[in-house]
Amino acid sequence: MNPGLPLRHLLLALAVVAVWGTNFVVIKLALGHLPPLLFAALRFTLAALPAVFLLPRPAVAWGNLAAYGLLIGVGQFGVMFVAMNGHISPGLASLVIQLQVFFTIGLAMYFSGERLQRTQWLALLLAGGGIAIIVLHTDGTTTLLGLALMLLAALCWAGGNLVARQAGRVNMVAYVVWSSLFAAPPLLVLSLLTEGWPAISAGLLAADRFTWLAVGWQAWGNSLFGYAAWAWLLARHPAATVTPMALLVPLFGMGGAALWLNEGLPAWKLGAAALVISGLALNLLWPQLRNRLRPAD
């Protein structure tokens, strides 16, 4: 699907987006017991401990680790869990979050001084059309607040992508583990301040075996494997090559939500997904097609 990646790297990217897509179902089910910010704090606590005592700190600045931990831990997952706690359906959450592709490319261009090409503008308009359809169909399962929070989470993910790329070739598992030290404490503080101890204690008491399995899957499968592998790929390939692979996330996310949570797939939702994915696909495939059509020197 992506000729710019070697086969092994392509398969790794596909595995990551499959985990991330189906993970929206796991998140939704676990949020039935745990408050969202507490859930996020537990996720990053398990991602950091006890691995931080087993892996040496990567050779990057503390500021880089802190920035990645805050952007991914608090900015992406903290905000996303809040949004999915009754403000947006899992399937649509998996669709909207992939706009991080455009945010990543936009931030990279902003810092490099480059400008969007006409095809990229068209791709952005297609994706924007999909978001507009979602805005016109907000209801009890998806609200404008939920949509805004998911866009903010996508922007934070994009920022984390660029920070991870600046880290260069380091042990990315150790990078995610050590950066999680900067994610868990502020998430716990925010949980105490906004959710309160009664909700925290009630959530911990109500948590069953599946809830704790979901927390573990978040920490070890989705976080250590997923984000370590994604950051590893970004350190070795341009952001514009790796990040469009996230367009497959909603295929797993919307399909998983329909299969396990009985989330409906009306025509407007499929149309929105088609527009967003078409925009991402155009952004991905057009540069490669243009190079193939260009006459050889």
Most confident of 8-22, 152-166, 278-292: 152-166
**Among the listed residues 104, 99, 156, the one whose alpha carbon sits nearest the alpha carbon of residue 125:** 99
- What confidence score (pLDDT) does residue 71 get? 97
| Vertex 109: Cα angle to 107 and 114 (nearest 5) | 160
What CA–CA distances, in Å, run from 262 to 89, 133, 147, 220?
Answer: 11, 21, 21, 27
The pLDDT of residue 110:
80
Higher pLDDT, 147 or 296: 147
pLDDT at 2: 46
Question: Residue 287: is its pLDDT beyond 80?
Answer: no
**Would you tell me how many other CB atoms lie within 10 Å of the CB of residue 161?**
28
Average pLDDT, integer, range 152-164: 93
Per-residue model confidence as pLDDT tens digits over 84-136: 999 999 999 999 998 888 888 888 888 877 676 778 888 889 999 999 999 99
Mind giving me the DSSP string for the chain? --TTS-HHHHHHHHHHHHHHHHHHHHHHHHTTTS-HHHHHHHHHHHHHTTGGGTSPPPSS-HHHHHHHIIIIIIIIIIHHHHHHTTTS-HHHHHHHGGGHHHHHHHHHHHHHT----HHHHHHHHHHHHHHHHHHHT--SSS-HHHHHHHHHHHHHHHHHHHHHHHH-SS-HHHHHHHHHTTTHHHHHHHIIIIIHHHHHHHHHHH--HHHHHHHHIIIIIIIIIIIHHHHHHHTTS-HHHHGGGGGGHHHHHHHHHHHHS-----HHHHHHHHHHHHHHHHHHHHHHHHHHHSPP-
Residue 150 has pLDDT above 70, yes or no: yes
- The arithmetic mean of pLDDT across residues 173-185, rounded, is 94
Q: What are the tokens at 202?
A: 């009630």
Question: Phi/psi of residue 205, each to 5°?
Answer: -70, -35
pLDDT at 295: 57
Does the structure show a pLDDT above 90 at 241?
Answer: no
